[in-house]
């Protein structure tokens, strides 16, 4: 992967405008849809059992985010995932609140068996996914740091043949051959609900248009991280930050992107 590819990938996303199906949580649906639109992708959100296969047929990628899961929605997730696999389309798992309750962990264990193309979570969630007996997470917040979860991420990569993104102050993206560390973003982003869910949706959008999955994830995380960092500079708090992030996702220039981007290629 070359750093120089990232801006081209952002341009390609806007050009191809992939249709992303998100089975996600109620809290973030509006933000997520707006972030996808601002980035140039097209969002669809649906969950009726009767249309999960058909919806997946017309979409290019799938987000499965368990934030406000229940029995009906979990069945919808599985139906959509099966169809995604059948059609060889990428599906991205966002294990919101992994480790918070036994029910979440059971559902996640089942979803992992369906081999997600990519997993994006914070350090606590990635550690909970890899090892069910670890220290319990504090709800949907992450009290752990990204580098503490690298071993857990490597375990998931090995076992489920997927790409993993640990998001946090440093985003770490890795598969068997590659490892990228990304230093963009701003701490005020953690004061907006659903920033992680937005990241996952963007990961799905890029995974629909970029073949190399580490490159797709890196493009998404770099895009959101740079945008968030620039937006934070002109924001007085989380309210204006949320607005400025959407504006920047839509309007960011190549020059602003490349001069702010801060990443390190550790492997590959």
- Judged by CB under 8 A, which of 10, 173, 248, 257 binds a copy of itself? 248
Q: Which is nearer to a copy of itself, 139 or 233 (CB)?
A: 139
Helix 102-112 crosses helix 71-86 at what angle (to 10 degrees)? Answer: 10
User: 99-158: which residues touch a copy of itself (CB under 8 A)?
Assistant: 100-104, 136, 138-141
Give, as ranges, the residues between 88 and 107 that touch a copy of itself (CB under 8 A): 97, 100-104
Angle at 216 between CA 156 and CA 1, to 5 degrees: 95
Q: Which CB sits closer to a copy of itself, 190 or 260? A: 190
> Of residues 5, 12, 68, 85, which one binds a copy of itself by CB under 8 A?
68
3-state secondary structure 172-207: EEECCCCEEEECCCCHHHHHCCCHHHHHHHHHHHHH
* Rounded Cα–Cα distance for residues 235 and 249 (Å): 15
Q: Considering the rule CB under 8 A, would residue 49 count as an interface residue with a copy of itself?
A: yes
Q: Which residues, 171 to 230, sit near a copy of itself by CB under 8 A?
A: 190-194
Question: Does the protein bind a copy of itself through residue 64 (CB under 8 A)?
Answer: no
- Helices 123-130, 150-160: axis angle to 10 degrees equals 50
Residue 167, interface with a copy of itself (CB under 8 A)? no
What minimum distance in Å lies between the beta carbon of 117 and a copy of itself?
A: 21
What CA–CA distances, in Å, run from 85 to 78, 118, 229? Answer: 10, 13, 35
**Binding site as annotated, residues for ATP:** 120, 167
Q: Check binding of 11 to a copy of itself (CB under 8 A).
A: no
* Separation of first and last alpha carbons in the chain: 7
Q: Where are the beta strands (DSSP E) in the chain?
A: 19-23, 42-44, 61-65, 91-94, 118-122, 163-167, 171-174, 179-182, 263-267
Residue 238: burial class (beta carbons within 10 Å; 0-12, 13-18, 19+) = middle
Kindly state whether residue 265 participates in binding a copy of itself, applying the rule CB under 8 A. Answer: no
Whichever of 42 and 262 has its CB closer to a copy of itself, that residue is 42
Candidates 1, 6, 10, 55; binder of a copy of itself (CB under 8 A) is: 55
Smallest gap from residue 63 Cβ to a copy of itself (A): 13
Phi, psi of 71 (to 5 degrees): -60, -45
- Closer Cβ to a copy of itself, 72 or 161, answer by number: 72
Q: Where on the chain is the footprint of a copy of itself (CB under 8 A)?
A: 19, 25-31, 33-34, 37-38, 42-51, 54-55, 58-59, 67-72, 97, 100-104, 136, 138-141, 190-194, 235-240, 242-251
């Amino acid at each position: 992967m070359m750093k120089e590819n990232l801006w081209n990938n952002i341009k390609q996303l806007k050009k191809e405008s992939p249709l992303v199906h998100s089975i996600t949580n109620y809290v973030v649906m509006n933000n997520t849809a707006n972030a996808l639109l601002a980035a140039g992708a097209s969002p669809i959100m649906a969950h009726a059992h009767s249309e999960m296969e058909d919806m997946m047929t017309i979409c290019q990628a799938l987000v499965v985010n368990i934030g406000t899961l229940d029995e009906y929605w979990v069945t919808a997730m599985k139906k959509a995932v099966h169809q995604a696999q059948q059609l060889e389309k990428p599906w991205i798992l966002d294990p919101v609140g992994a480790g918070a309750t036994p029910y979440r962990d059971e559902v996640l264990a089942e979803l992992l068996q369906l081999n997600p193309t990519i997993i994006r979570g914070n350090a606590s969630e990635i550690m909970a996914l890899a090892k069910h007996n670890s220290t319990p997470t504090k709800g949907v917040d992450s009290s752990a740091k990204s580098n503490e979860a690298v071993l857990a991420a490597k375990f998931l990569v090995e076992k489920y043949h997927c790409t993993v993104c640990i998001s946090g102050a440093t985003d770490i993206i890795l598969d068997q051959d590659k490892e990228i560390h990304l230093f963009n973003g701003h701490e005020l982003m953690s004061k907006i609900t659903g920033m992680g869910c937005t990241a996952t949706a963007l990961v799905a959008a890029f995974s629909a248009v970029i073949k190399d999955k580490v490159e797709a994830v890196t493009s998404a995380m770099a895009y959101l991280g740079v945008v968030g960092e620039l937006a934070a500079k002109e924001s007085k708090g989380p309210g204006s930050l949320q607005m400025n992030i959407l504006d920047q996702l839509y309007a960011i220039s190549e020059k602003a992107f490349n001069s702010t981007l801060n990443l390190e290629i550790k492997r590959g």
